[in-house]
Amino acid sequence: MFERAKIRLFVEHPLGEGQTIPLAKDQAHYLFGVMRRDQGDRVALFNGRDGEWTAEIVEAGKRAGTLSCLGQAAPQLDPPDLWLLFAPIKKQRTDFIVEKAAEMGASRIVPVLTEFTNSERVRVDRLQAHAVEAAEQCGGTFVPEVAEPVKLDRLLDAWDGSRHLMFCDETRAGAASALSGERDRPWAILIGPEGGFSETERKRLAALDAAAPVSLGPRILRADTAAVAAMTLWQSALGDW
Amino acid sequence: MFERAKIRLFVEHPLGEGQTIPLAKDQAHYLFGVMRRDQGDRVALFNGRDGEWTAEIVEAGKRAGTLSCLGQAAPQLDPPDLWLLFAPIKKQRTDFIVEKAAEMGASRIVPVLTEFTNSERVRVDRLQAHAVEAAEQCGGTFVPEVAEPVKLDRLLDAWDGSRHLMFCDETRAGAASALSGERDRPWAILIGPEGGFSETERKRLAALDAAAPVSLGPRILRADTAAVAAMTLWQSALGDW
């Protein structure tokens, strides 16, 4: 395995022995303009499929560039089949939730609109860019997909019963128990909005066979804190930690 | 117990049957100017010692006001004896760490300067204000103290061996084991800077009897993510969750 380079870039292009990778305009600007890298310097590349590869810069231009794969530096590490479902909140905290979900190893990020969700329009492309940046930063080789926002009712109507749903219900005490022995099943974590779930939503979630309500302690956590806390409980009990 | 009021304010004043509480200028502005509350409205008060009290507004002025305690709405809930030690990072993320530490139930927050810490001057008064705001927000009855920044070496020179130290060492795998059966002892969680600990610091921490290195999974977490994740592991294993 090659030594891992400090700067990491996500690319769509296939990675492998002798592959040549053209750089997009913004990546060329970042790599050559901002980070001042040049021909001969090494960069880490990943595309979510082929692990991490160490590549050498063969062409460095203002608006374009070319990299050449030297060798693999890390194997592909896909996260467990864990979705993070969250009700969008203020812009900055929504950005944080997406960043944290990528760092914590969620495989899919789904903005969910609940009765008490009040937030500006969700810009999926911006959130996806945050997920990419977080994956580049945290050394992961996978970028979770940010899905289009969906209404909670719609989501539950179409719920696949084989996917467990961990939802953070403030009325419930005792976390660990709800999270035992389902390692081989797909999971989703649902974080409610600042106002919590409505009574109707709470009942519907509780009635769901696949649902596992968990408590996140005696204090009421903000949505972004709750997202990290819930993913931590899941990862340490059932995930890749 | 009285029904809990939505708006919560931290005050220094003693709380109890028949107590009258004068409001500071900024709190009067927030309560009457921003939140538009007036005489007869109810507010939740806590001072970190007497639990949460429901109080009624008896005087509402532009720069001052008076509240009168009606009855206790929640008992005092002190957090476990858990310190969060963290290396200050960018302003916004440092603010987040302090907010999260208060939400997650840390009893004391200590900015620690390590070899690889690079950050602007730490403004303890601003961070303390963030801790108060987070406690008001999360329904807690306790506000962790934000201590003056201290050099890691100094901190370890004076370390009380009876306080366990959980530090997040990326070289170490397997979290849970390190956190068993010390429920009755005081603990501290140490989050390293973006650049990680230096080799010297790592060796010194590893040599410490009270130290329990833990892993936070295969991805490298940002300091603010690591703080929430580490406190979650601790709270669910040894704390008040």
B129 and B188 in a common domain: yes
Residue B1 lies in a domain: no
- Report the number of distinct structural domains present in chain A: 2
ipTM: 0.90
pLDDT value at residue A159: 93
Amino acid identity for residue A90 in this structure: K
Residues of B in contact with A233 (CB under 8 A): 232, 236
Beta-strand runs (E) in chain A: 8-10, 20-23, 42-46, 52-60, 65-74, 82-86, 108-113, 145-146, 150-151, 164-168, 187-191, 211-214
Cα–Cα dist A96/A225, whole Å:
9
A87 and A64 in a common domain: no
The CATH number for A60's domain is 2.40.240.20
Q: pLDDT confidence of B116, banded at 50, 70, 90? A: confident
Radius of gyration of chain A (CA): 20
Query: Cβ contact (<8 Å) for A219 and B104?
Result: yes
Radius of gyration of chain B (CA): 20
Note whether A218 contacts B: Cβ–Cβ < 8 A: yes
Cα–Cα dist A198/A118, whole Å:
13
Residue with the bigger pLDDT between B181 and A233: it is A233
Residue A2 lies in a domain: no
Residue with the bigger pLDDT between A46 and A241: it is A46
Query: Cβ contact (<8 Å) for A105 and B229?
Result: no
Q: What is the pTM of this model?
A: 0.91
- Tracing tokens 């911006």 back to the chain, one arrives at A126
Q: Which two tokens stand for residue B17?
A: 């049957």
Note whether B76 contacts A: Cβ–Cβ < 8 A: no
- Tracing tokens 């090494």 back to the chain, one arrives at A42
Mean pLDDT of B110-124: 86
Query: Cβ contact (<8 Å) for B225 and A104?
Result: yes
Is the pLDDT assigned to residue B9 strictly greater than 80? yes
Last residue of a domain, one of A74, A91, A121: A74
Residue A3 lies in a domain: no
A151 and A48 in a common domain: no
Mean pLDDT of B37-57: 96
Q: Which two tokens stand for residue B207?
A: 């040599």
pLDDT value at residue B4: 81
A172 and A98 in a common domain: yes
Nearest CA in chain B to A142: B219
Is the pLDDT assigned to residue B7 strictly greater than 50? yes
User: Cα(first)–Cα(last) distance of chain A, in Å?
Assistant: 23
Which range marks the domain in which residue A125 is found? Answer: 82-238
Residues of A in contact with B228 (CB under 8 A): 225, 228-229, 232
Query: Cβ contact (<8 Å) for B219 and A140?
Result: yes
Query: Cβ contact (<8 Å) for B105 and A218?
Result: yes
Instruction: Transcribe A26-79 into DSSP letters.
Output: HHHIIIIIIS---TT-EEEEE-SSS-EEEEEEEEE-SS-EEEEEEEEEE---PP
pLDDT value at residue A174: 46
Last residue of a domain, one of A74, A105, A122: A74
Is the pLDDT assigned to residue B241 strictly greater than 80? yes
Query: Cβ contact (<8 Å) for A218 and B96?
Result: no
Residue A129 lies in a domain: yes
Q: Closest Cα of chain A to B63: distance in Å?
A: 30
Query: Cβ contact (<8 Å) for A225 and B229?
Result: no
Cα–Cα dist A237/A176, whole Å:
8
pLDDT value at residue A144: 97
A147 and A127 in a common domain: yes
Cα–Cα dist A40/A35, whole Å:
14
Local structure of B66: helix, strand or coil: strand
In tens, the pLDDT along A151-196 reads: 999 999 999 989 999 988 665 544 444 566 566 789 999 998 877 8
Mean residue pLDDT of chain B comes to 90
Nearest to A233 among B96, B140, B232 (CB): B232
Is the pLDDT assigned to residue B120 strictly greater than 70? no
CB contact at 8 A, A34 and A7:
no
A171 and A57 in a common domain: no
Nearest to B228 among A137, A218, A228 (CB): A228
Beta-strand runs (E) in chain B: 8-10, 20-23, 42-46, 52-60, 65-74, 82-86, 108-113, 145-146, 150-151, 164-168, 187-191, 211-214
Residues of A in contact with B103 (CB under 8 A): 219, 221-222, 225
Residues of A in contact with B218 (CB under 8 A): 77, 105, 240-241
Amino acid identity for residue B154 in this structure: R
pLDDT value at residue A185: 85
Residue B3 lies in a domain: no
pLDDT value at residue A170: 60
* Least confident span in B1-5, B44-48, B180-184, B205-209: B180-184
Nearest to B140 among A139, A140, A219 (CB): A219
* Least confident span in A128-137, A143-152, B141-150, B172-181: B172-181
Query: How many CB atoms within 10 Å of residue B54?
Result: 20
Mean residue pLDDT of chain A comes to 90
In tens, the pLDDT along A64-98 reads: 999 999 999 999 999 999 999 999 988 889 999 99
**In Å, what is the CA distance from B22 to each residue of B11, B66, B128?**
9, 5, 21
Local structure of B188: helix, strand or coil: strand
Nearest to A103 among B104, B140, B221 (CB): B221
Q: pLDDT confidence of B119, banded at 50, 70, 90? A: low
pLDDT value at residue B108: 97
Q: pLDDT confidence of B235, banded at 50, 70, 90? A: very high
H helix runs in B8-116, sequence order:
25-28, 91-103
Nearest CA in chain B to A240: B217
Query: Cβ contact (<8 Å) for A225 and B100?
Result: yes
Residue B108 burial by Cβ neighbours in a 10 Å radius (0-12, 13-18, 19+): middle
CB contact at 8 A, A164 and A187:
yes
Count of pairs with CB atoms under 8 A, one residue in A, one in B: 88
Note whether A236 contacts B: Cβ–Cβ < 8 A: yes
